[in-house]
Structure 1
């Protein structure tokens, strides 16, 4: 496989072909916004499956928001990196204000992306959670646990690229993890894409066919 991928859409097409061979039955595709939506579009189209977003938010350090200490997904409880908290001599309670702030932002994004609609029925169905890449895996872990609580028949995590260590760790959270590549030189998701622009809420709505222009790759 030629790396880096041209963009998220190309990666999604390649990922879709791998997923076709996994024997999914009555699948639903849940994309982790924002970047995962651009990958999940071609996946849902190839699987003839409904596409929806599953909103997640990183829980950052109060003084260093870019340092992820956990994550929360809609419908689920916060998931923390307990080893990192221990090294920093912090507790889950220390992150209470951050969690509440991220829950508010999560609710805002759910309202923007879906309005009054709820998630599709997940119980008893094959659910494919799609992201554009797995670095630390914090948001993916929170998403998988939230989906698992809905009792799907089969839970699949799919992404074009990921850290080998993270992918191994997440195999305990999903029934199957489908990856195109797990390069040993992984440092960040963006290094494996030629085009890896940041997406806006408007981009997500466009990709979902809820903005102007309908679905198109990004």
Structure 2
């Protein structure tokens, strides 16, 4: 099965969201269920999931902190409340200190706040206390952005936190299972270089697209 999954491709994020919806359809009807997408790409996937489950859609905005020489390589992540999760093992391996990324951490804190204000506008945060939260993204790479999202929603009082992603590398599944209540996915490749390699079309999602999706989702 894993060998077959390695050869599978998702057409785009919408396709990823529709296929992911099939994996989590058994949650439909669960009281207090909320879907939170991770901007920007994860919001496209999350919209399809929320639509299939007929539940509210909102966002959680953790930010990845990249290595100085490779911004795509996450050495830390910033949660919505400003809490920083450091990937200490990777930082030690790469010879990176906290001081080396301090400037980037501060920049990502500001970016998280900017995106929250931009995407949400004057809409209040959804109350997550005692709710079941489905955290949705287009994929997991290092896992640190998702870890920050999990921490953020737990701090907001979520009763149960479920991770739902279109793509997750096999060596990250156990980690996600250990820090969440359940993990659901479409593809779990053993050979993994980037999330985008499993999508035929993986264009960058714009801020405007995220706002449009959230506006569409809130309409009755």
Q: Normalised by the size of structure 2, how large is the TM-score? A: 0.89
2:182 corresponds to 1:176 = yes
Cα deviation digits, residues 93-128 of structure 1 (max 9, x gap): 443222111111111111110123332011100000
After TM superposition, the structure 1 stretch with the greater mean CA deviation from structure 2, 78-87 or 120-129, is 78-87
2:25 corresponds to 1:4 = no
Q: 1:63 to 1:15 in 2, by over 3 A?
A: closer
Q: Is the 8 A contact 1:3 1:193 kept in 2?
A: no
Aligned-pair CA distance for 1:92: 2.7
Structure 1 CA distance for aligned equivalents of residues 196 and 155 of structure 2: 31
Partner of 1:105: 111
Q: Is the 8 A contact 1:20 1:47 kept in 2?
A: yes
Aligned-pair CA distance for 1:91: 3.1
Structure 2 CA distance for aligned equivalents of residues 61 and 43 of structure 1: 32
Give the one of 186, 191, 203 matched to 1:185.
Answer: 191
Structure 1: gaps of 5 or more residues: none
Give the one of 120, 125, 129 matched to 2:126.
Answer: 120
Q: 1:18 to 1:67 in 2, by over 3 A?
A: closer
Q: 1:176 to 1:99 in 2, by over 3 A?
A: same
Q: Is the 8 A contact 2:171 2:190 kept in 1?
A: no
Aligned-pair CA distance for 1:15: 1.1
Structure 2: gaps of 5 or more residues: none
Aligned-pair CA distance for 1:17: 1.9
Q: Normalised by the size of structure 1, how large is the TM-score? A: 0.89
Give the one of 141, 164, 173 matched to 2:170.
Answer: 164
2:6 corresponds to 1:15 = no
